[in-house]
Structure 1
Amino acid sequence: MPEPRRRKKSTEEYVRQAEKYESRGRFEDAIECLLMAVKTSDDKAPLYLRLAHLYRSQRKVDQAIVAVKRALRIKPDDIEARDLLLEMLLELGRFDDAIKEAKELLKVSPRSLSARDVLSVAYLQKGMLDKALQVTNELIRLDPLAPENHFKKAVLYQQQGDIGSAIQEFSRVLEMQPDEEMAQDAIEAIETLDNYQIRHIVMLAAEDYVFRAKLIRDPEAAALERGFYLSFAGMTALRQIQFEELPEIWSEWKQRFYH
């Protein structure tokens, strides 16, 4: 007597089985069930997206990218899928691809913050600082109260060597009351930039008596005249320096280390 034919599982049954396997840590089995669900489903895009998330959770990013691209071929306006793709491209350091896909997302969602966020990171990594700054300014225009955007702008100014603008942006970050980690990073960045400038000011003042005389009279005006921009704390530190005694100290220092 012939054996009865097995009933084919439905898409929903494969999905439920995949969820059970995933909850038990049997991820390969969960992936197999989702692949079977794709074969039986008329609505494949969300299943490919679930597969992409599952592959990514197992650090199979290349396979995750293949899955999410299949989802996008079916449903090109899926914002979640496009955001996931961008995150993974950045993870892999595929910055050219990330830029291309971010621009595609902007066609679908012109006000997308995530697309601009990815563009700013990718441009920075490629050394395209002007473009990164342009995109970051767009982020600030669309989301002016986000301190992380001002922090990015400060970093870009620092990369460009515009120390004054970097300090201004880092200071603006602190005014926006960011989380503790970002606040500490901003404080440390300002301190580093202040110290860098103060060392240069002292070296110039030791060799240039006209500049030194101006610093004695009005440290802030003298520093600004030479293109230095210090934070409030930095300017306070500059005012504590006894520039009148600098020539003797500098002479002793050079004698000690160069003779």
Structure 2
Amino acid sequence: MIFSRLEVVLYVLGMIAGAWVLYPSEYTRGLMMRREGDRSEAIAFFTGYLKRNPHHKGATLALAEAYEEAGRPEEGVNPLESFYMHRRGDLEAGRQLLALMKRSGMRSEAIEFRWRLLHDLEQKPLRPTRELIRLYTNAYQDASTRQDHASAKRALLRLAEVAFDDEVHRENLVRLLLMRGELKVALKFLGEKLLEHPKDVDLRRLVARIHRHERRRPAAIEILTAGIVLLPRSVPLLSDRATLFTEIPKWESAAADFKRLSGLQPQRDGWLQELGMSYLKAGRFTDGIDVLNAFLARNALDKKRWWTVIYALDEAKRRDRAAAKLEAFLRQFPQDREGFEMLAYEYHELGRIDAEIRTLQRRVRSAPRDFSSRKALVQLLMQEERYQTCVSHYTVLIALRPQDPELRMLLGYLHILRGDRKAAAVVFEEQLVRFPGDKRAMDKLVWALVKLGQRDKAISILSTHFGAGKEVK
């Protein structure tokens, strides 16, 4: 078959085009060499390819990575920087160049380039806000570590411009501004944002917290009040303002806010408690106790609620009502030691000693091993000179704490007060058996024996402890 000249030319051109399409480029061969670990060949292929295609992004990034893998990262900086200058604001190239500079030990160049990268990114029509926040944060941290205060402030102020609309970073940014003493800057940015978004509750609360931190509570209240005018049912704003009123203090104003809060969130018992306490602080005793009783009625099994009411009555010196409330509390919680102790205290302050004694007796009957309550009862009975009743209680106390060196001595003194020197001598002798070196027990035992006419036994005891032949005086 004979082909025409045109057909032959077309065939040759087709073969050349097919070979060009099918035969891998230097860039592709460079990638293949990199995967096989032949970094020098890969570098040669990438370099050759970039001579003909000087701004190919993939080849430039691959060449920089190949240089780093070959242990020559500094040689990858120039081609990467050249590419970035051609395509300024390219985030991927900029990030890789910045990291490569750091790993190559080019610290000052990396710092300078980061500012250039940040500037270029801010000029883009669609700013990569998250990346800007990350880079400015890194710049701030790096400058703080180097104690470069000017650069740290520069980074922080730029971060404020970029990040204030980002709720995730806003509070941390304000904290950093305050740490560096940039209070005016923080309030300026927050004020501007608040004018733009007057109903932003979180932003308004943040401004109020800064004023509160700086002990400018009236300014904080003013900021919150302006927000409450716009959002009269905002629980966070009302709650913050009520707290500030308690700190000034303006108890009537606090009570008004807590009353509104309890109306907005009737299921939240805490507002009732705060309202009741605010009434009490404002001098509205009846209103306060009524609210606290309503707070208690919502959960009568909660001991803390009972104590809130009891302590309120006690602080107001309404001891008769406090005692009545404690009696009701003990009917609900008959084993509560603190309740019995508080009730005994209230009766004591009222001068009702018999009621105080009965209260402590009820306690020791319900909890026979309660050492502190029984001891308190004994001390009270001693004050009232009811010595006979005390004896049995001291016997129990000694059984509970046989190693206590004071209890037997007190029982011995009690027998002396009762006029029972024989019983006293027995107790003092038991004390000496358990605590042989107790001089007080020795002296009292000898005294009791002499009074009982048992001089010989007293001498014998002294001889045993101090040696024979000692004269008793």
TM-score of the aligned structures, taking structure 2 as reference length? 0.37
Deviations 1:135-171 (A, max 9, x none): 1112123344543321221123333232422544776
Tell me, yes or no, if the aligned pair for 2:239 and 2:257 is still in contact at 8 Å: no
1:63 deviates by 1.3
Deviations 1:27-82 (A, max 9, x none): 61322221111123364333212211222222221111111122222222221221
1:18 deviates by 6.2
Aligned residue in 1 for 2:319: 161
Counterpart of 1:150 (choices 303, 306, 328) is 306
**In 1: Cα distance, 2:193 partner to 2:326 partner:** 54
Matched, 1:44 2:200: yes
Tell me, yes or no, if the aligned pair for 2:319 and 2:346 is still in contact at 8 Å: no
Counterpart of 1:23 (choices 176, 179, 188) is 176
Counterpart amino acid of residue 41 in structure 1: H
Counterpart of 2:189 (choices 33, 37, 57) is 33
Matched, 1:54 2:210: yes
**In 2: Cα distance, 1:42 partner to 1:130 partner:** 40
Report which stretch shifted further, 157-166 or 62-71. Answer: 157-166
Long gaps (5+) in structure 2: 1-121, 124-160, 364-372, 389-473
**In 1: Cα distance, 2:298 partner to 2:199 partner:** 35
Aligned residue in 2 for 1:205: none
Secondary structure, counterpart of 1:110 in structure 2: coil
Tell me, yes or no, if the aligned pair for 1:51 and 1:64 is still in contact at 8 Å: yes
Counterpart of 1:139 (choices 295, 319, 330) is 295
**In 2: Cα distance, 1:136 partner to 1:157 partner:** 10
Q: Classify 1:236/1:103 alpha carbon distance in 2 versus 1 (closer, same or farther; 3 Å).
A: same
Q: Classify 1:201/1:46 alpha carbon distance in 2 versus 1 (closer, same or farther; 3 Å).
A: closer
Matched, 1:193 2:334: no
Q: Classify 1:61/1:176 alpha carbon distance in 2 versus 1 (closer, same or farther; 3 Å).
A: farther
Counterpart amino acid of residue 324 in structure 2: S
Q: Classify 1:23/1:230 alpha carbon distance in 2 versus 1 (closer, same or farther; 3 Å).
A: farther
Tell me, yes or no, if the aligned pair for 1:154 and 1:167 is still in contact at 8 Å: yes
Secondary structure, counterpart of 1:67 in structure 2: helix
Aligned residue in 2 for 1:230: 359
1:114 deviates by 3.2
The percentage of aligned residue pairs carrying the same residue is 13
Secondary structure, counterpart of 2:266 in structure 1: coil
Deviations 1:116-135 (A, max 9, x none): 12221122123322211111
Secondary structure, counterpart of 1:230 in structure 2: helix
Counterpart amino acid of residue 385 in structure 2: Q
Counterpart amino acid of residue 40 in structure 1: E
Matched, 1:85 2:241: yes
Tell me, yes or no, if the aligned pair for 1:31 and 1:51 is still in contact at 8 Å: yes
**In 2: Cα distance, 1:40 partner to 1:236 partner:** 69
Superposition RMSD in Å: 4.0
Aligned residue in 1 for 2:278: 122
Q: Which has the higher contact order (CA 8 A, sep 6+)?
A: 1
1:16 deviates by 4.5
Q: Classify 1:167/1:230 alpha carbon distance in 2 versus 1 (closer, same or farther; 3 Å).
A: farther
Q: Classify 1:201/1:126 alpha carbon distance in 2 versus 1 (closer, same or farther; 3 Å).
A: same
**In 1: Cα distance, 2:170 partner to 2:202 partner:** 16
Long gaps (5+) in structure 1: 1-5, 178-182, 203-218, 246-259
Aligned residue in 2 for 1:250: none
**In 1: Cα distance, 2:224 partner to 2:343 partner:** 41
1:176 deviates by 9.9
1:109 deviates by 1.8
Counterpart amino acid of residue 377 in structure 2: T
1:90 deviates by 1.1
**In 2: Cα distance, 1:27 partner to 1:129 partner:** 46
Counterpart amino acid of residue 319 in structure 2: G
Number of residue pairs the alignment of both structures matches: 210
TM-score of the aligned structures, taking structure 1 as reference length? 0.63
Counterpart amino acid of residue 107 in structure 1: G
Secondary structure, counterpart of 1:12 in structure 2: coil
Aligned residue in 2 for 1:71: 227
Report which stretch shifted further, 79-88 or 22-31. Answer: 22-31
Tell me, yes or no, if the aligned pair for 1:98 and 1:122 is still in contact at 8 Å: yes
